[in-house]
Amino acid sequence: PCAFSGNGRQCAANGTECRSGWVGPNGGITNFDNFAFAMLTVFQCITMEGWTDVLYWVNDAIGWEWPWVYFVSLIILGSFFVLNLVLGVLSGEFSKEREKAKARGDFQKLREKQQLEEDLKGYLDWITQAEDIDPENEEEGGEEGKRNRVTVADLLREDKKKRKFCCFRQRRAEDHASMPTSETESVNTENVSGEGETQGCCGSLCQAISKSKLSRRWRRWNRFNRRRCRAAVKSVTFYWLVIVLVFLNTLTISSEHYNQPDW
């Protein structure tokens, strides 16, 4: 393209004339004047179809010093790295989903087979037990009685252990109650003096402030507002409000274009 000034091609003084009104290359769709056409141009460059022509057009428009840095970086990072990375991630995710679906189907078949086997085994056991002879049932009943007697004996032994432990605790409590009052008073006075040393005037002042009506009202108001704020932030309305604001911000930023009005 030609230009009256800047880095564009200057018209020679042989009768040629530089006129305005050219929409641009490829019917005006290859440009960086707005967000949509800029994304289309970048996508064309990433696919490596005619990116050198776009580079030369940009060189004619703004000069050849810096555009090559952008286009070379775009081809190396966008075409050779990012595009293959996206394709690799998509291929890996699809293969994982296929393996999960296959494993889910195999597990479902195995579960149904096990369920059928368990049902068949239960029916066979029920039929065989119904056909058993009475003496065999009596022998089984005797064995179950022995087992029950053993479990009762175990329960009795556990009860004796619990009683011994309770008696031991009761004796310790009685020994502590029989201690002289002087010893207990000395222990209490030592504890009180230690607490008095740790607590100072600041501690008593903080306790007085915390027990005041104003402090209680402030804590109640703080808890109430925190619950309200947490409920508002966790709500679905707040979530969609943030999404809408982000979307509007994106639209506002991407709405900049060439020859836009001042407002």
Q: Which residues are annotated as a binding site?
A: 49
Distance between CA 35 and CA 253 in Å, rounded? 9
Supply angle C-alpha 208, 209, 211, rounded to 5. Answer: 65
Handedness of CA 207, 209, 214, 219 (dihedral sign): negative
Alpha helices in 199-212 (DSSP H): 201-210
- Half-sphere exposure (CA, 13 Å, Cβ side) for 228? 6
With a CB cutoff of 8 Å and minimum separation 6, the contacts of 257 are: 33, 34, 35
In which element (H, E) is residue 109 found?
helix 83-130
Q: What is the dihedral of CA 234, 240, 243, 244, to 10 degrees?
A: -140
Q: Which two tokens stand for residue 208?
A: 């007085």
Q: Which two tokens stand for residue 47?
A: 């696919």
Distance between CA 153 and CA 263 in Å, rounded? 93
The tokens 């479902």 sit on which residue? 108
Bind-site residues for Ca(2+): 49
Distance between CA 7 and CA 62 in Å, rounded? 5
